[in-house]
Amino acid sequence: MFKYLLAAASFTATIVGNAVSAAPIPAGHVRLVQSLRDAGYSVVVNHETCDRDDVKYGFYYRGNIVICQTNVAKGTRSINHDWNSEDLDTLRHEAHHAIQDCMDGRNFDGELSQVYDDPFTFARNIIGVDGIRAVRSAYSDEDYATQVLEVEAFAVAADNDTNEQVSDVYRFCVR
């Protein structure tokens, strides 16, 4: 997430209106996107930043969620592609980073905080100890606080409970 901040800082998001629902996407994920929009976030699919070598699945940065669909070739701006499980997982993961950005009471400030009191216990129940180790290893160049945020986001995405995420958006982010 943080390695993409430089790319995100220069990007100007185009809000994807009804187009997100143009590609087949489960109803719970449509509600998640709508809740994020209600909170003022933009959700962009296959933005030009997806063509960068250092951006694989997507990122969140100060109110902007970018999803880079995995079945879309670099250089393709079309969003009329089927959403696969990886794309939906990325949406849930980046949506959780948006929720983490609301936890201090200020949306879009880039100051992320954990949502769960004990994110490692939650993560252990969802992705297991090996999953936690894998996430921490992937983010070993980042500080401990960032690793905690990533473990929590990977676990929430794997939990695949969009109803809870929608509830969290309205609880913490809609002001």
- The predicted-structure confidence for 98-148, as pLDDT tens digits, reads as follows 999 999 988 889 999 999 999 999 999 999 999 999 999 999 999 999 999
pTM, 2 dp: 0.84
* Higher pLDDT among residues 82 and 156, named by residue: 156
pLDDT at site 4:
34
pLDDT at site 80:
65
How far is it, in rounded angstroms, from Cα 73 to Cα 76?
A: 6
Residue 158 is inside which H or E element, if any? helix 144-159
pLDDT at site 79:
65
Domain count of the fold of the chain: 1
pLDDT at site 138:
96
How far is it, in rounded angstroms, from Cα 145 to Cα 52?
A: 26
* Higher pLDDT among residues 55 and 87, named by residue: 87
pLDDT at 7 over 80: no
How does pLDDT run across 38-86, given as a tens digit for each residue? 999 999 988 888 888 888 889 999 899 999 898 887 777 666 678 899 9
pLDDT at site 107:
86
Range of the domain at 165: 2-173
How far is it, in rounded angstroms, from Cα 61 to Cα 101?
A: 9
Write phi, then psi, for 44 (nearest 5 degrees).
-120, 135
Q: Using DSSP, how many helices (H) and how many strands (E) does the chain show? A: 7, 3
pLDDT at site 106:
86
139 CB burial (10 A radius; 0-12, 13-18, 19+):
buried
pLDDT at site 13:
30
Residue pair 162/29 in contact by the 8 Å Cβ criterion:
yes
